[in-house]
Amino acid sequence: MQSRQGTGEGGDLASIGRALRRNWRLILAVTAISVVAAVAISLLRDSTYSAQAQLRFSTTDTQQILSQSPSPQAAEDAAAANAEYVIAPQVVNAVKRRLDSPLTPSELTDAIETRVQTGTNLVAIEAQADKPEGAADIANAFAFETQAFLTERQHDVFRRAADAVEKRRAEAEADGALPKGTAEIFAEQLIRLDTLARFSSPVNIVSQASVPGSPDRPGLVQSCLLALVLGLLLGSLAALVREFLRRGLASSDQLERSLQLPVAGHIPGNAMIRATGEDDGERAIEAHLDPFRILRANVAFLDSGGGPRVLGVTSAIAAEGKSTVAAGLAVAFAMGGARTVLVECNLRQPEQAAFLSLADAPGLSDYLSGNASLEETLQVGRLHGGPSEEDSAGADGAAAEISHDDATLVAEVACITAGTPSTGASELLRTERLRGLLASLREDYEVVILDCAPLLSVSDALDLLPHVDAALLCVRVGHTTEVQSELAKSLLERGGSYPVALVLTGVETAADSSRYTLHSSRHKAAGAKTEVPALADSPRLD
């Protein structure tokens, strides 16, 4: 059994590509709706007509005009500075009176747009209206009234300038007779200013607006192309959102096809390890183990060297059944005769103590923080076999009492629980003490199973992956979404070159009815090594 490894960002892009392919009908539907809507809007909306008049501005600076050599740059600056006068209140009100328009000044202002043509002294006035004649009339009215307003404004400037020259001449004459040259200068300036005040114009109408022959409706082809692109983008976004909102993959076949990973086992929803009450003062559990035996057999083929020694069990998110899988697989290995230890590495949400009827602490966090020795953290669960509830019921249906002392010892499972809750879980899992622990357990046990935290919730599992020989990704059918599963797969494949296999949980399959009672006890190691005795009469795992 070989896993198919992906690489980096390529895996993420492939996941997105598969999501888009799965939702191609949705993308096609959104795109088609967008194109149809664009065509309908283009054909049904009210027609709008545009017309344009053009003005040429000259400098309004009195000194520039009197010098008789205004610069081109001065004319360009004049166009930029005076373009705002096109929508001056005086101009807009004059346009309204000129056209006798029912539009308000604000509506008239909104109906036009002015643009200064870069590098020139030209200003374009573009008007829009629902009738072609209306667009041309508005553009021309603004052009004429702008010219009239600015011309009168400049004439007034020249008249005031002429009055100022006349005043200076009168003051000079009052002081005595003017030299002939000075009198001529005053006379020349007065003549020039009087002429400018009557005939000069700072703005000329270069071209009047003509009546447009067709509305400004964008081309149908252009609208369709724009809608096509927008529809594809919106459809793709809707497809990705749909993937994230999907409740989960509906079947194991769908999961296998989607993730393209080998499936090592199918764990039914009723294949649980759960507490059933007290048995001679000790908590007992019920286990349906046939699916875990099958999983144990398949795991042996993940590694060509006779099976992985250190096995990581994780999931994409919480509530996927990974802790159940880890515990059940540990029991199955132990029943097969392998010296097995289960290490609960999910320090944030521990469950194994409750599953296996063990003490919560001391555990892994206590060992990693230096507050407990390995011998103090190891606990042993002894699994005894017994008849099912149906077999142990009397004639009246009442269950008969069965003492675990009379039951057959089936297996012993060593376990290190999560231990005392700690706020520094990530830091503890990155210590050299953890690496030393895993190296020691690899020497002392044939199988080391790590119950890791979910991959998408926290980064704890990523710190453990470099130490495993193989990894199992638990995916709950009908619960985990495809995007979540693919992201978890991508993280696993980036963690190393170990093989990865799926364990599908929550499948609808008949479960084993065997009953076992597990009794917990503290294991005290006598020597440097920690040993859980293998059962001499139990078949060894091939």
User: What is the DSSP secondary-structure string of 444-510?
Assistant: H-SEEEEEPPPTTT-SHHHHHGGG-SEEEEEEETTTS-HHHHHHHHHHHHHH-SS-EEEEEEEE--P
The whole-angstrom distance between residue 470's C-alpha and the CA centroid of its chain comes to: 30
What pLDDT was estimated at residue 270? 66
Q: What are residue 319's phi and psi, to 5 degrees?
A: 65, 30
Q: Per-10-residue mean pLDDT for the chain, 542 residues long? A: 43 68 86 87 76 83 52 64 88 93 92 86 90 92 93 89 87 76 83 85 90 75 84 87 61 69 83 47 54 89 78 89 90 89 91 84 91 91 56 37 49 88 84 91 93 87 88 84 81 82 77 46 40 32 28
Q: What are residue 353's phi and psi, to 5 degrees?
A: -60, -40
Parallel, antiparallel or unpaired: strands 408-416 and 310-315: unpaired
User: What is the DSSP secondary-structure string of 213-243?
Assistant: SS--PPPHHHHHHHHHHHHHHHHHHHHHHHH
d(CA 327, CA 345): 13
Q: What CATH number has the domain spanning 252-389+403-522?
A: 3.40.50.300
Angle between helices 482-495 and 220-245 (to 10 degrees): 70
What pLDDT was estimated at residue 410? 66
Q: Using an 8 Å Cβ cutoff, are 248 and 477 in contact?
A: yes
What pLDDT was estimated at residue 60? 52
Q: Using an 8 Å Cβ cutoff, are 331 and 287 in contact?
A: yes
What pLDDT was estimated at residue 404? 44
d(CA 181, CA 531): 126
The whole-angstrom distance between residue 433's C-alpha and the CA centroid of its chain comes to: 37
Give residue-wise pLDDT tens across range 111-159. 999 988 887 888 999 999 988 999 999 999 999 999 999 999 889 988 8
Q: Which of 290, 273, 281 is nearest to 405 (CA)?
A: 281
Give residue-wise pLDDT tens across range 149-188. 999 988 998 888 888 888 888 888 787 766 777 888 888 8
Give residue-wise pLDDT tens across range 403-428. 444 455 667 789 999 999 888 888 88
For the record, the structure tokens of 476 come out as 């709950």
**Helices (DSSP H) in 118-203: which residue ranges?**
132-174, 180-199
Q: Give Cα separations from 386 to 100, 124, 291, 389 (angstroms).
A: 104, 97, 19, 9
CATH topology of domain 49-207: Bacterial polysaccharide co-polymerase-like (3.30.1890)
d(CA 24, CA 22): 6
| Strand (E) or helix (H) holding 111 | none
- Contacts (Cβ under 8 Å, ≥6 apart) of 307: 299, 300, 301, 447, 541
What pLDDT was estimated at residue 76? 65
What pLDDT was estimated at residue 489? 84
Identity at 242, one-letter amino acid code: R
The model carries a pTM of: 0.51
Percent of the chain's residues with pLDDT above 70? 74
What pLDDT was estimated at residue 412? 79
